[in-house]
Structure 1
Amino acid sequence: MFSRLRRLPILLFPLCISLISCFSNAYGNEEVHSLNRDDIIISKLHRVVDRSLLEEIEKNGLASVSAGIVGSMIGVSWVGLKTAVTTGSASPLFIDFTMSALLTGAALGTLSVVSRTYLKTPFDFFSRPLTWGVYKYFQVRDWVLHEEPSPELEQKYSEFLDPVAERLKAVVEQVFDVPADYWTITPMDMSAPNAFATSGYNIAVYHSIFPLAKNQAGMACILGHEMGHVLAKHVGQSLSDVIFLNKLALASIPFANSISQNRETQADEIGIYLTALAGYDPSECSRVWDRMTAFGGNLREVVNIFLSTHPTNKTRMNALKQHGNALQEYYSNKPQVLGLGLEYSL
């Protein structure tokens, strides 16, 4: 009798799992049917921006712990560096292959993962004065080094850029409750095609990147990427990495770069979702990186790990092509789409 009762939970366990699965599927189907296409895309976008701890561990856990361990075992000691500078009698480098250093590094690497998930908002807040200063420095540098465009050229830049910026700001306001007037998007006349964002909703777009954007859909991909950095609080995450990982440890560069490259990939994904929600063709995002590759070439993958905080152009192009294909059904059924928008021309 008692032996049969002991077996009863084992017999009931599969039945409970089946019932839970049925209820979950029923609820999941009801949820999917209750959402429209925009809601589904917005839900996916939120998941991309706000990674859970498990997702952060999956994406960056191994690289973080490895960087922490290597940074604790091999690197530059601030005390040793100070002594070497003042007395010249010590080496700033240290090597510590002890169990204590290994465990300390593993703990710091783990803390960096936790901080990127749960402390990115305060770190992002602390980084704002510094990044504001960097933004202002580039504004002043642009003003000192370059002549202002003519009024006619300024108008052409504005006609091309402003409608894209306004549509993206409206989408972000709707999806993330970030007021449109928070954003400052400043064109700058730098030679290298580039754009960058700060943690305080400031974005700089170089005029030299306009031809590579080619059209307003391409510009939406570029602006959306920079907005993705801000929304995901990547600057704050980078600050936490400086604190928890010894960035002076040269041996940790491949691991630290891997984390940075993953942030760029995340910003690309956020950007292509924002592009589609704004009504521009998301398939253009991969073609932007095709044009980037034609302009600047492409580093070999292995070399890129050691030299760059960004993925290779080819890697980004392939990833965006997959995301673009996945978004095509949504985009093709979206009313009042803009396609590629205006073509850029001087």
Structure 2
Amino acid sequence: MQWKTTLSALVISSLMAGCAQSPTGRNQVLMFSSDEMSSLGAQSFEQIKQQEKISKDPTLNRYVQCVTKSITDVVGPQAGFDEWEVVVFESDQVNAFALPGGKIGVYTGLLDVAQTPDQLASVIGHEIGHVLAEHSNERLSRTQLAGLGMQVTSIAIQGSGYGEYHDLTMAGLGLGVQFGVLMPYGRAQETESDIIGVRLMTEAGYNPNESVALWINMARKSNGNQPPEFMSTHPSHSTRIDDLNSEIAQLPPYQTQKPQCRRPS
């Protein structure tokens, strides 16, 4: 009984120490430092770079770097890392991600759907939103508190390789696919990143309405194969579009002088 009391006290202390608010004002529990999360993000990114084919196309890389820099310039300095790293992966995946520590991956398949610089800025802003809102920290903190092995995340962060905890850790970073235990970012986090992303792209001079156009493209690409919203970690395309339109209606006018990032032909 004593150990249960001690464990409860530790959990309560962790909750009190880790209380925080996201950029949109949502309450969070964050149990890990910026340095710890940056280290874990860097480890995971190095592993991904070893597993995936990195694009050597200079024009494509220049384009993605240009759009990303226009977004990160309005973000400003971040705790835990000094600069953002962007890598383009050759893959048909319609995907992108951002990890703690400023690590950003963009798959070439995404460019078939994000057809303009504004639409790519919408995706990049969304992914950076996950980092700014510390969603990975939040997911891993929930794992720690959920009792899925109280040592899972601490061992993952302390070790240079996380062995049997690899899947849980990657899922906590938003890169997993498990249902019921740890899934990629939940719907609340995805919606929050949509809001942060559309704000960032607008501040950078992009047309926020293009974020809606992006999700119309996504809906077409999926051919109606998206799972029901209650079974998915992501909002449905229609929910996403409605939420974005609501946010866009409250934004100030975007600049007409937007960044000059030329999409490869």
Same fold (TM over 0.5): yes
Matched residue, 2:92:
191
Matched residue, 1:299:
227
Matches within 5 A, 1:161-176: 161-173=64-76
Note if contact 1:220-1:275 (Cα within 8 Å) is conserved in structure 2.
Answer: yes
Q: In the alignment, which of 211, 214, 229 is matched to residue 130 of structure 2?
A: 229
Give me the CA root mean square deviation: 3.4
Q: CA deviation at 1:245?
A: 1.7
SS of aligned partner of 1:122 = coil
Note if contact 2:11-2:145 (Cα within 8 Å) is conserved in structure 1.
Answer: yes
Q: In the alignment, which of 133, 138, 141 is matched to residue 51 of structure 2?
A: 141
Note if contact 2:198-2:248 (Cα within 8 Å) is conserved in structure 1.
Answer: yes
Matches within 5 A, 1:322-333: 322-327=246-251, 330-331=252-253
| Residue identity opposite 1:234 in structure 2 | H
| Residue identity opposite 1:278 in structure 2 | A
Q: CA deviation at 1:326?
A: 2.2
Note if contact 2:128-2:197 (Cα within 8 Å) is conserved in structure 1.
Answer: yes
Matched residue, 1:271:
197
Q: CA deviation at 1:323?
A: 1.4
**Pair 1:132–1:211, CA change in 2 (3 A):** same
| Residue identity opposite 1:291 in structure 2 | N
- Please, what TM-score do these two structures have when normalized by structure 1? 0.55
**Pair 1:156–1:167, CA change in 2 (3 A):** same
Instruction: Kindly tell me the number of residue pairs found equivalent between the two proteins.
Output: 220
Q: CA deviation at 1:168?
A: 1.1
SS of aligned partner of 1:203 = strand
Matched residue, 2:142:
241
Note if contact 1:195-1:203 (Cα within 8 Å) is conserved in structure 2.
Answer: yes
Note if contact 1:127-1:239 (Cα within 8 Å) is conserved in structure 2.
Answer: no
Note if contact 1:112-1:241 (Cα within 8 Å) is conserved in structure 2.
Answer: no
**Pair 1:116–1:320, CA change in 2 (3 A):** farther
2:258 counterpart of 1:338: yes
Q: Which has the higher helix share?
A: 1
Stretches of structure 2 lacking an aligned partner (at least 5 in a row): 22-28, 150-178
Matches within 5 A, 1:1-346: 115=18, 117=20, 120=30, 122-143=32-53, 148-149=55-56, 154-173=57-76, 177-178=77-78, 182-246=83-147, 260-296=186-222, 297=224, 298-304=226-232, 309-327=233-251, 330-331=252-253, 334=255, 336-338=256-258, 344=263, 346=265
Equivalent-residue separation in structure 2 for 1:110 and 1:213 (angstroms): 44
Note if contact 1:121-1:233 (Cα within 8 Å) is conserved in structure 2.
Answer: no
Stretches of structure 1 lacking an aligned partner (at least 5 in a row): 1-100
Equivalent-residue separation in structure 1 for 2:241 and 2:17 (angstroms): 30
Equivalent-residue separation in structure 1 for 2:238 and 2:16 (angstroms): 28
Matched residue, 2:170:
none
SS of aligned partner of 1:117 = strand
Deviations 1:133-154 (A, max 9, x none): 22111111123xx7x55xxxx2
SS of aligned partner of 2:52 = helix
Equivalent-residue separation in structure 2 for 1:259 and 1:222 (angstroms): 15
Which protein is bigger by CA-based radius of gyration?
1
Matched residue, 1:33:
none
Equivalent-residue separation in structure 2 for 1:259 and 1:182 (angstroms): 24
Equivalent-residue separation in structure 2 for 1:186 and 1:258 (angstroms): 21
Deviations 1:17-47 (A, max 9, x none): xxxxxxxxxxxxxxxxxxxxxxxxxxxxxxx
Note if contact 1:123-1:239 (Cα within 8 Å) is conserved in structure 2.
Answer: no
| Residue identity opposite 1:269 in structure 2 | I
| Residue identity opposite 1:302 in structure 2 | F
Q: CA deviation at 1:261?
A: 1.5
| Residue identity opposite 1:128 in structure 2 | S
Equivalent-residue separation in structure 2 for 1:109 and 1:311 (angstroms): 32
| Residue identity opposite 2:40 in structure 1 | L
Q: CA deviation at 1:266?
A: 0.8
Note if contact 2:187-2:234 (Cα within 8 Å) is conserved in structure 1.
Answer: yes
| Residue identity opposite 1:120 in structure 2 | L
